[in-house]
Chains A and B, each alone.
Chain A
Amino acid sequence: MKCLVKKQNEKEPIKKVAQCCAKTSKTIVGCHD
C-alpha cells in the first residue's frame, strides 16, 4: 500500500475547502455542475 496522505506531523497548514466550492475559483457555477 502506498499512502498518499502525509502524516499529521509532516503536514504544512493548508486551507481546507470543500472541493467543489473553492471560493477563489467559484464565481458562478461549480455547484450546478
Chain B
Amino acid sequence: MIYSKHNIFSKIAESDNYFIVNLLSGSADILNPEEGQMLNNFLGGNELPEDFKESLIKQGYLINQKEEDLLYRQKYLDFIDTRDEDEVQLFFVPNYSCNFACTYCYQDEYSTVKQELTTEVIDSFFTYINKEFAGRKKYLTIFGGEPLLNSPKQKELISYLLNLANASKLEVCFVTNGYSLIDYIDILSTANIREIQVTLDGKGNVHDKRRFLKGGGATFDKIVNGIDACLDNQIAVNLRVVVDKENINGLPELAQFAIEKGWTESDFFKTQLGRNYELHHCQATSEKLFSRISLYETLYKIIKEHPYFLEFYKPAYSISKFLSENENLPDPLFDSCPACKTEWAFDYTGQIYSCTATVGKPGEALGSFYPEVTRKEDMINTWENRDVTVIPECSNCNLQLACGGGCGSVAKNKTGNACTTDCRPVKELLELGFSAYFEN
C-alpha cells in the first residue's frame, strides 16, 4: 500500500482540524488534530496505528499502486466520454469595437479590422456550425467588443443572427456591458435566451470610475435599469463583478444593493466574481491586482465581516462549495481548458479561434469559416489534446485532478506552448473552503 499521489492533505484555516481529499477515489474527510498529527508523522516516516491505517485504506488514501493506475485510466476514459457528449459553447464576435473604455480592458491592444459584419458572414457561420457540430448539443454566446451597440444597423444584424439561431433551435447567451440592454429587450424577447452576462464593478461611483463610456460618462444607472428590465421580462442575468484592490471594499455595498433590489431573490439572477488579471499584456498598475489566493483570502475575510454577502455570491474555494452542497465530490478534472473541445470562437472577419481568451488575438486563428473554410489542423490538435496527461509538470502533481492544468491560453502566453501549466492554488483554496463551509 502506498500513500495515494492524488491525496490533498492540509490543515484547515483557523482550525486545529485537518482535511484530506482524493478526487480519484472520491473521498473527502476531516481529520481531528490527533489524526492529522498521525498522518503528518506517517509522511515523516513513522508507522500508522492499525485502525487508522484501515480507515485510510477504506477511503482510498492508501492504495495499491496498480489499483490506482487502473482507476486513473478508467476515470480518464470516463472523463473523455462525458466530455464528448457535453454541450459545446460557440462564441460569435460581431465586432471588437466598444462604447466603453474600461480601465482594465484586455482587448485594448487589438488592432481594428476595417471590415463590417454582414448577413453573408452570419449565414456562413451558421452553415459552418450546423455542419461541423451536427449531432452535438450546442449553444451560442455572442461576445465582443460590445455586441449590443445601440445603432439601427447593429440591431438589424443582431436580429438577423437571432432569427437564424431560432431556425437552428439554439439557445443564445450575450456578454454585454449592459449599457443598451433596455434598447434591446424587444429583440432579445424574440429569441431563446439562456442568459445575459452583465458587469457591474460596484455601486454607483465605484463602478463608474472603472467602466465608463469612451470620452467619459457614467454607466451604472443605465445598466441597473437594463438588469431590472431583463428580470421583469424573465430574461436570466448573470451579473459579473471584476475585482481588484481598487474596488474590493465596495463589494459588500454592491451585495447590499442587489439584495435590496430583490435581485438575489429572483430565479433569473445569479452572480460570478472575476479577478482582474493580466491575460495578454501587463496593466499599468499591476500592484492593484490580486493573486488568485489573495483574492479568496480577502473574500473569506469579507464574508466573516458581512455574512449577508453569501446571499449575493458564494465562493467555490476549489471543490469546497461543491462538496458542501452535494455531499459528494465532482468527477476528477483531467482538463480545465475547454478550448477546441467544448468551446470554439468565431468572429465577424470569418476567423476561427479556440476560445474567448484567444479570439481576435493575432496569431491565434485556427482557420476560417468565411469566405472559405480552412483549418490549421496542427494548431487545432494541440488544443484538442491538451489535458493533465500530456502536460509534463502535471504528471507528478497531487493537485492535478482538482486543478485540471488551468487555462491553456494563459499558459501559452507564459511559455509559448499551450501544453504547459497555469497552476491553481488548490491546497490553499481548500484550506479556506473547509474552514468556511465545514467548520462552525
Q: Are A3 and B27 in contact (CB under 8 A)?
A: yes
Least CB distance from B401 to A in Å reads: 10
**Which residues from A are CB-within-8-Å of B31?**
1-2
- The answer to whether B342 and A21 have CB atoms under 8 Å apart is yes
In the complex, the chain A residue whose C-beta lies closest to that of B323 is A4
CB within 8 Å of A: which of B375-398? none
Contact A31 B197 (CB under 8 A): no
> Would you call the interface of chain B mostly helix, strand, loop, or mixed?
mixed
Contacts of A33 in B (CB 8 A): 274-275, 277, 292, 407, 410
Is B177 interfacial (CB-CB < 8 Å)? no
Whether B143 sits at the interface, judged by CB under 8 Å, is yes
Q: Which of B110-118, B221-229, B256-264, B329-337 contacts A (4 or more CB under 8 A)?
A: B329-337
- Closest A residue to B91 using CB positions: A28
Query: In the bound complex, do residue A17 and residue B330 qualify as a contact, i.e. CB atoms below 8 Å apart?
Result: yes
Nearest-CB residue, chain A, relative to B331: A16
Q: Cβ of B318 and Cβ of A19 under 8 Å apart?
A: yes
Distance A26 CA – B27 CA, assembled complex (angstroms):
26
**Which chain B positions have C-beta within 8 A of A28?**
141, 143, 175, 197, 240, 356
Q: A1-B35, A27-B141, A30-B272 known; A20 and B327 CB under 8 Å?
A: no
Bound-state CA distance A33–B355 (Å) is 13
Task: Tell whether, in the assembled complex, residue A19 and residue B333 are in contact, meaning their CB atoms are under 8 Å apart.
Answer: yes
Number of A-B contacts (CB under 8 A): 102
When C-beta atoms are compared, the residue in chain B nearest to A1 turns out to be B29
* Cα separation A23 to B342 with both chains bound (whole Å): 10
1/0 contact trace for B39-62 toward A, CB 8 Å? 000000000000010010001000
In the assembled complex, the Cα of A13 lies from the Cα of B185 at a distance in Å of: 37
- Taking a contact as CB atoms under 8 Å apart, the answer to whether B26 and A5 are in contact is yes
Q: How far is the CB of A22 from chain B (nearest CB, A)?
A: 9
B173 at the interface (CB under 8 A from A): yes
Per the 8 Å Cβ criterion, residues 153-183 of B in contact with A are 173, 175
In the complex, A4 Cα to B320 Cα: how many Å? 11
**Set A1, A11, A14, A27: member contacting B238, Cβ < 8 A:** A27
Proximity string of chain B (168-205) to chain A, C-beta cutoff 8 Å, 1 when within and 0 when not: 00000101000000000000000000010100000000
Contact A27 B357 (CB under 8 A): no
Question: How many residues of A sit at the interface, in one of the four size bands?
Answer: 20 to 34
The chain A residue with its CB closest to the CB of B143 is A28
Contacts of A29 in B (CB 8 A): 240, 272, 274, 356
- Name B214-251 residues within 8 Å CB distance of A: 238, 240
Given that A2-B30, A5-B27 are contacting pairs, would A18 and B331 also be in contact in the complex, using a CB cutoff of 8 Å?
yes
- A-chain residues with CB within 8 Å of residue B274 when the two chains form the complex: 29, 33
Chain A residues with CB under 8 Å of B175's CB are 27-28
In the complex, what residues of A have CB within 8 A of residue B277's CB? Answer: 33
> Which A residues are in CB contact (< 8 Å) with B316?
19
Docked complex Cα distance between A28 and B173 (Å)? 10
Which residues in A have their C-beta under 8 angstroms from that of B272?
25, 29-30
Q: How far is the CA of A24 from the CA of B139 in the complex (A)?
A: 12
- With both beta carbons as reference points, the residue of chain B lying nearest to A21 in the complex is identified as B338
Most buried by B among A25, A26, A30: A26
A2–B402 alpha-carbon span in the complex (Å): 21
Contacts of A25 in B (CB 8 A): 238, 270, 272
Is B420 positioned at the interface, with any CB of A under 8 Å from its CB? no
CA distance A13 to B29 in the complex (A): 21
Cβ B322 vs Cβ A19 within 8 A: yes
Query: Can you offer 18 A-B residue contacts whose CB atoms are under 8 A?
Result: A1-B52, A1-B59, A3-B59, A11-B327, A14-B328, A18-B404, A19-B319, A19-B322, A19-B402, A20-B333, A23-B87, A23-B89, A25-B270, A25-B272, A27-B175, A28-B197, A29-B356, A32-B357
Give 10 nearest A-B pairs by CB, closest first: A27-B197, A4-B28, A2-B30, A6-B327, A1-B29, A19-B330, A32-B407, A28-B175, A18-B333, A32-B357
